Structure 1
Amino acid sequence: MGSTTVSSDVTEGVGLPVSSRTFDAVVAVFSLLTVAGIAADFRSHAAGISFAEEGFFTAEHVFFYSAFLVVAVTLFAGTAHRRSRGLDWVAAVPPGYRWGIVGVLVFGFGGVGDFFWHSAFGFEESFEALVSPSHLTLAVGSVLFLLSPLRAAARRGEDADTAFGAVPVVVSMTLALAILGMFGGFVNPLVRPYPHFEWESMRSVVTMLVAWPLVYVGAVVATLRRFDLVPGAFTVAFGVAAFAIVQVEGYVWLLVPAVVAGVLADVFAVYVRRVGIGRALRSRAFTAFAAGLPAAFVTVYFTVVDLTVGIDHSYLQEGLFNWSIHVVVGAVVLAALVGVLFASVVADGRAAVTTEEVS
Structure 2
Amino acid sequence: MSDNAATRPRAGNAANLLTVLFSTWLLGGVLADVLAHNNIRKLETFFTPWHAALYSGFLATAAWVGWIVRRNLMAGRRGFDAIPTGYGLGVAGVALFLVAGAGDLAWHTIFGIEQNTRILFSPTHLLLITALSLIFTSPLRDALTDPAIPDAPSTRRLLPAMLGLAFAGAAIMVLLQYGNMLLLTPDRVVDALDRDGKGSGASSVALELIVTNVALLFPLLIIGRRWTIPFGTATIMYAVFGVQAAVLRTPMVLVTVVLCGLGVDLLAMRLRPGPSRRRAFWAFGALAPVVTWAVFFAVGFIEAGRLPGVVEFWTGMPVVAGLLGLLFAALLLPGAGALGGAGVEPAVSHETTPTAR
TM-score bucket (shorter structure):
0.7 to 0.9
* 1:326, distance to aligned residue in structure 2 (A): 3.1
2:36 aligns with: 44
1:162-311 to 2 correspondences below 5 Å: 162=154, 164-193=156-185, 194-195=188-189, 201-228=201-228, 230-250=230-250, 252-271=251-270, 273=272, 277-281=274-278, 283=279, 285-309=280-304
Question: Structure 1: any 5+ residue segments left out of the alignment?
Answer: 1-6, 314-322
Identity %: 26
Is structure 2 residue 323 aligned with structure 1 residue 324? Answer: no
Residues 344 and 88 (structure 1), Cα distance of their counterparts in 2 relative to 1, 3 Å cut: same
| RMSD (CA atoms) | 3.1
* 1:101, distance to aligned residue in structure 2 (A): 1.0
Whole-angstrom distance in 1 between the partners of 2:122 and 2:155: 38
Alpha-carbon contact 1:256-1:300 (below 8 Å) kept: no
1:72 aligns with: 62
Greater alpha carbon shift after TM alignment, 30-39 vs 346-355: 346-355
* 1:271, distance to aligned residue in structure 2 (A): 4.9
1:318 aligns with: none
Alpha-carbon contact 1:51-1:118 (below 8 Å) kept: no
Deviating above 6 A after TM superposition, structure 1's stretches of 4 or more consecutive aligned residues are 197-200, 310-313
Whole-angstrom distance in 1 between the partners of 2:310 and 2:269: 37
Alpha-carbon contact 1:195-1:312 (below 8 Å) kept: no
Whole-angstrom distance in 1 between the partners of 2:139 and 2:325: 29
Residues 350 and 203 (structure 1), Cα distance of their counterparts in 2 relative to 1, 3 Å cut: farther
2:321 aligns with: 335
Residues 34 and 339 (structure 1), Cα distance of their counterparts in 2 relative to 1, 3 Å cut: same
1:24 aligns with: 16
Question: Structure 2: any 5+ residue segments left out of the alignment?
Answer: 193-198, 348-357
Is structure 2 residue 128 aligned with structure 1 residue 133? Answer: no
Aligned residue for 1:348, secondary structure, equals coil
Aligned residue for 2:30, secondary structure, equals helix
What is the TM-score with the length of structure 1 in the denominator? Answer: 0.80
1:320 aligns with: none
Amino acid at match of 1:241: F
Residues 341 and 162 (structure 1), Cα distance of their counterparts in 2 relative to 1, 3 Å cut: closer
Whole-angstrom distance in 2 between the partners of 1:128 and 1:304: 32
Whole-angstrom distance in 2 between the partners of 1:200 and 1:125: 27
Residues 172 and 69 (structure 1), Cα distance of their counterparts in 2 relative to 1, 3 Å cut: same
Whole-angstrom distance in 2 between the partners of 1:172 and 1:102: 16
Whole-angstrom distance in 2 between the partners of 1:343 and 1:150: 19
Q: Matched residue pairs, number?
A: 332
Residues 305 and 230 (structure 1), Cα distance of their counterparts in 2 relative to 1, 3 Å cut: closer
Greater alpha carbon shift after TM alignment, 177-186 vs 82-91: 82-91
* 1:147, distance to aligned residue in structure 2 (A): 0.8
* 1:278, distance to aligned residue in structure 2 (A): 3.0
2:334 paired residue among 348, 355, 359? 348
Amino acid at match of 2:224: L
* 1:213, distance to aligned residue in structure 2 (A): 1.7
Whole-angstrom distance in 2 between the partners of 1:351 and 1:258: 37
Whole-angstrom distance in 2 between the partners of 1:351 and 1:74: 45
1:33-182 to 2 correspondences below 5 Å: 33-52=25-44, 55-159=45-149, 161-162=153-154, 164-182=156-174
Alpha-carbon contact 1:213-1:293 (below 8 Å) kept: no
Amino acid at match of 1:189: M
What is the TM-score with the length of structure 2 in the denominator? Answer: 0.80
Residues 180 and 197 (structure 1), Cα distance of their counterparts in 2 relative to 1, 3 Å cut: farther
1:8 aligns with: 4
